[in-house]
Amino acid sequence: MSKLKIGVIGTGSISNVHLDAYRNNPEVEIYAVCDLNEERAKASAQKYGATHVFTDYNELLALPEIHAVSICTWNNTHAPISIAALEAGKHVLVEKPMTQTVEQALQVQETVRRTGKVLQVGFVRRYDPNAQILKQFIDDGLLGNIYYAKASSLRRLGNPGGWFADKERSGGGPLIDIGVHVIDVCWYLMGRPKVRSISGSAYHLLGNRSNVRHLSFYKAADYDASKNTVEDMANALIRFENGASLMVDVSFTLHAKKDETAVKLFGDKGGAELEPELALITERNDIIMNWAPQVDHLSFNFGAAFQSEINHFIDATLGRKETLSPVDDGVEIMKILCGIYESAETGREIVFEEA
Ligand X SMILES: NC(=O)c1ccc[n+]([C@@H]2O[C@H](COP(=O)([O-])OP(=O)(O)OC[C@H]3O[C@@H](n4cnc5c(N)ncnc54)[C@H](O)[C@@H]3O)[C@@H](O)[C@H]2O)c1
Site of interaction with ligand X (CB under 6 A): 9-15, 34-37, 40, 57, 72-75, 77, 95-96, 122, 124, 162-163, 177, 220-222
Rounded least distance, CB 276 to ligand X, Å:
17
Q: How far is 355 from 353, CA to CA, in rounded Å?
A: 6
Residue 226 or 285: which CB sits closer to ligand X?
226
Rounded least distance, CB 164 to ligand X, Å:
7
CB-side neighbour CA atoms (13 Å) of 351: 2
Q: CB of 57 within 8 A of CB of 81?
A: yes
Rounded least distance, CB 64 to ligand X, Å:
20
Burial class (CB in 10 A: 0-12, 13-18, 19+), 81: buried
Rounded least distance, CB 36 to ligand X, Å:
4
Q: CB of 120 within 8 A of CB of 317?
A: no
Residue 237 or 332: which CB sits closer to ligand X?
332
Question: Which residue number has the CB closest to ligand X?
Answer: 12
Q: How far is 141 from 228, CA to CA, in rounded Å?
A: 45
Rounded least distance, CB 294 to ligand X, Å:
26
> Which residues 6+ apart lie within 8 Å of 261 measured at CB?
152, 153, 154, 182, 275, 276, 299, 300
Rounded least distance, CB 188 to ligand X, Å:
15
Residue 108 or 350: which CB sits closer to ligand X?
108
Residue 36 or 143: which CB sits closer to ligand X?
36
Q: Where are the alpha helices (DSSP H) in the chain?
A: 15-24, 38-48, 57-61, 78-87, 102-115, 129-139, 167-170, 174, 180-189, 302-317, 327-346
Q: How far is 355 from 194, CA to CA, in rounded Å?
A: 8
Rounded least distance, CB 38 to ligand X, Å:
10
Q: Which residues pair with 120 in a beta bridge?
A: 93
Q: What is the DSSP letter of 179?
A: I
- Could you tell me the CA-to-CA distances from 56 to 32, 35, 36, 61, 222 in Å, in that order? 12, 7, 7, 9, 19
Residue 37 or 301: which CB sits closer to ligand X?
37
Rounded least distance, CB 174 to ligand X, Å:
11
Residue 12 or 193: which CB sits closer to ligand X?
12
DSSP letter for each residue of 41-92: HHHHHHHHT-SEEESSHHHHHT-TTEEEEEE-S-GGGHHHHHHHHHHTT-EE
Residue 240 or 313: which CB sits closer to ligand X?
313
Helix axes 129-139, 180-189, angle to 10 degrees: 30
Q: Where are the alpha helices (DSSP H) in 190-326?
A: 302-317
Residue 35 or 232: which CB sits closer to ligand X?
35
Rounded least distance, CB 122 to ligand X, Å:
5
Residue 240 or 300: which CB sits closer to ligand X?
300
Q: CB of 339 within 8 A of CB of 103?
A: no
Residue 161 or 193: which CB sits closer to ligand X?
161
Rounded least distance, CB 2 to ligand X, Å:
27
